Chains A and B, each alone.
Chain A
Amino acid sequence: MSEPLTPPGGEEQDTVAPDPEARATGLLGRLDAAHRVNGMLAPVLTAVLAFFIGGLVVLVTTGKNPITTYRAIFDGSGLNWLFPWVGGDDRVLAAVNLQQTLLLTTSLILVGLAVAFAFRCGLFNIGGQGQYLVGSIFSVWIGSSFASMNGPLHIALAIAVATLAGAAWAGIAGLLKALVGVNEVISTIMLNWVAVWTGVFLFGQGGPLQNDTQVSVPVSNDIVETAKLKVFWGDPLLQGLHIGFFIALAALVVYFVVLNRTTLGYGVRAVGFNPEAARYGGISVARNYFLAMAISGAFAGLAGAMDILGWQFRLATGDVLTSTIGFTGIAVALLGRNSAVGVGLGALLFGALLNGTSTRNLDPEVFKPELASNLTQIIVGLIVLFVGADLIVLWVLGRIRRGRRTVGAPA
């Protein structure tokens, strides 16, 4: 993975040989080989490289030992709970930390799946954030109204509505893509911001969904007690891990099955692989664009519901403005190579990273916590940057194999 940094003008980069064998050297050969090792090596190398550069940043800017810093972040993530020799108070703390990490992992799995599902159809859903917000908004609305409703039914309704809302929000982008060919990247970015400002409007001062008791606080009403998801590990008062974690795991399975074992998934993958060929094969490209976006949005909307019903219980305009979980989902999906297992592992990695660097967990003696959360951001950026580069290499390789022209084709 240090290979992408070949100096400008590197021959392998600039020339296209007629067949893949002839250019199976250097970067391409390596990545191709990496891809063949169950596709596991490349993502791991990507992450390692990003962490390495992040470590250099720590070393150069603060003079702190990056290994100590990462160790502290690791302990803060609670993953040390998995080591049986960690005992006593440390173990109790680790359990609490791990619960927090898995809370984040839950929604990261879902927003990661959102990006991944669209990706498999050849669509780049940058709108996970907006779809997540729309899901949050609807679940907080349903969850805080209908107080007398039967608990499980109430939860099911909130989840269903949030999921549908996410699907509808993404569906707008899908529809625009399918009907008028609007680039989904542009439309989903715009929809993100529309969702943000709608949220600020709804929960802001004088907004229609602002809480009934304190008119000066821009926050929603709390969801009712019976609409909260059950905590199965840890103390519910300290944000223990709720059953939504299993919903996220189930979503991974659903993702895999839908994509790989159903006609719908076949269509989505076919369009993602090659829209022209799919069209020729009688698959409706437009229909699949729409469906893929809608399903993608459903995952993100579900993520919003999980966070609201599972541990946040309310939504403030501040949360709406500062949340970036949907964007981290892009990194999760990219690092996870859009596979179910990959997304699961990627979500765990970023969940651990986000929680391990949170202000609450990191000892200021070791590393300033405020710095660490920005370090996470840098690592996320680097991972996305590197993955973007080698993904395209694999993609180009695939295109060359199929002997198709890629560039210079008249639009």
Chain B
Amino acid sequence: MLRYATPLTFAAIGGLFSERSGVVNIGLEGMMLTGAFFGIWGADRTSSWVLGLLIALAAGALMALVHAFFAIHLRADQIIGGTAINFLALGVTGYLFIDIYGQEGTPTDIPAIPEVSIPLLRDVPFVGDVVGQMNLMIWLALLTVLLAWVVIFKTPVGLRIRAVGEQPRAADTVGISVFKVRYAAVIVSGMLAALGGAYLSIGFVNSFGENMTAGRGFIALAALIFGNWRPFPTLAACLLFGFSSALAQRLPVYSDSAAVLFQALPYVLTLIAVAGLIGRSIPPAAVGRPYKKQ
């Protein structure tokens, strides 16, 4: 369940930064896919998963930069821009994948992100079995959530991000550069989404396939909405959605085809959530609105 939740968590927290700053990021799926491809490509080329991750980060940042430029400078519709990012990422990664690896697919000897085992924790009964030995990225994801909470709610930087996402005009008036903050936030979102993607390719399955993210970026988006644009509830949503994925993967062995319906659960729950049936979901006030300086 944690393994299924990890890529979602990275992407959802990424989306949190972007949307808190007032830029809708429907392109999370594409940014994840970008990270997934460039992560494995980088790890393959450099024979190092660390460099692979860094290359994934850079690629995700670049993809996010495109989104940011169109959304912020050109004031393009953010949703259309994000949709375009998804198309582009699908095309670009598929294209490069075929061009570089062809029908054989990615090599199997690419260095993978290691599992870490923590000596004391490992020995704790029950808990140790679950968290004693986990992929490094799972820890990193949990750390990211904590960091995101600290940054967004406890630091001046976070205050700026929130200000820009709620009242850009007011933020501008007190001397915050709306453009800079939004650029930074969108780029961070791209990097985090790319990390989530890279975890899929070099941490989880250790290969790449066309469109391998298969909607996880959208589940992350759903988790973000479900978590009401807050880090810890978003993590909880990711865990819940990861749980339904894990269940859908495991159940068919024991029961009938109805298990697949668990895959639809995150989406149904999000529909219910946005309909206001589970408390109110309140997006940042200025989300989706391009900002013009005066």
A residues adjacent to B (C-beta < 8 A): 4, 8, 10, 13-16, 57, 61-62, 124, 126, 172, 176, 180, 182-183, 185-187, 189-191, 193-194, 196-198, 200-201, 204-207, 210, 321, 327, 330-331, 334, 368, 370-371, 373-382, 384-385, 387-389, 391-393, 395-396, 406-408, 410-411
Contact of B218 among A193, A379, A385 (CB under 8 A): A193
Interface pick from B5-13, B108-116, B193-201, B271-279: B271-279
Check B75 against A198 for contact (C-beta < 8 Å). Answer: no
Check A407 against B292 for contact (C-beta < 8 Å). Answer: yes
Contact of A411 among B85, B222, B263, B286 (CB under 8 A): B286
Which residues of the other chain, B, contact A185 by a CB distance below 8 angstroms?
Answer: 26, 79
Check B98 against A183 for contact (C-beta < 8 Å). Answer: no
16 contacts between A and B (CB under 8 A): A4-B70, A8-B69, A182-B274, A183-B274, A190-B268, A193-B266, A198-B264, A201-B258, A207-B257, A374-B92, A377-B88, A377-B94, A388-B76, A388-B83, A389-B76, A410-B285
B residues adjacent to A (C-beta < 8 A): 26, 66, 69-70, 73-77, 79-81, 83-92, 94-96, 98-99, 103, 167-170, 210, 214-215, 218, 221-222, 225, 256-258, 260-261, 263-264, 266-268, 270-271, 274-276, 285-286, 289-294
Other than the given A62-B99, A374-B90, 8 more pairs (CB < 8 A) read A13-B74, A187-B271, A193-B263, A193-B267, A194-B267, A374-B94, A380-B87, A391-B76
Check A378 against B88 for contact (C-beta < 8 Å). Answer: yes
Cα distance, A235 to B116, chains bound together (Å): 61
Which residues of the other chain, A, contact B69 by a CB distance below 8 angstroms?
Answer: 8
Cα distance, A368 to B267, chains bound together (Å): 37
CB distance from B103 to the nearest CB of A (A): 8
Contact of B167 among A190, A200, A375, A408 (CB under 8 A): A408
Grouping DSSP codes into helix (H, G, I), strand (E, B) and loop, the A interface class, with mixed when no group exceeds half, is helix
Which residues of the other chain, B, contact A376 by a CB distance below 8 angstroms?
Answer: 91
Cα distance, A117 to B96, chains bound together (Å): 36
CB closest residue in chain A, given B258: A201
Question: What number of residue pairs across chains A and B have CB atoms under 8 A from each other?
Answer: 196
Contact of A182 among B86, B91, B256, B275 (CB under 8 A): B275
Which residues of the other chain, A, contact B66 by a CB distance below 8 angstroms?
Answer: 385
Which residues of the other chain, B, contact A380 by a CB distance below 8 angstroms?
Answer: 87, 91
Check B80 against A334 for contact (C-beta < 8 Å). Answer: yes
Given known contacts A193-B218, A371-B98, A378-B92, A4 and B74 CB-to-CB distance under 8 angstroms:
yes
Cα distance, A281 to B86, chains bound together (Å): 39
Check B92 against A392 for contact (C-beta < 8 Å). Answer: no
Which residues of the other chain, A, contact B286 by a CB distance below 8 angstroms?
Answer: 407-408, 411
Check A15 against B84 for contact (C-beta < 8 Å). Answer: no
Check A194 against B91 for contact (C-beta < 8 Å). Answer: no
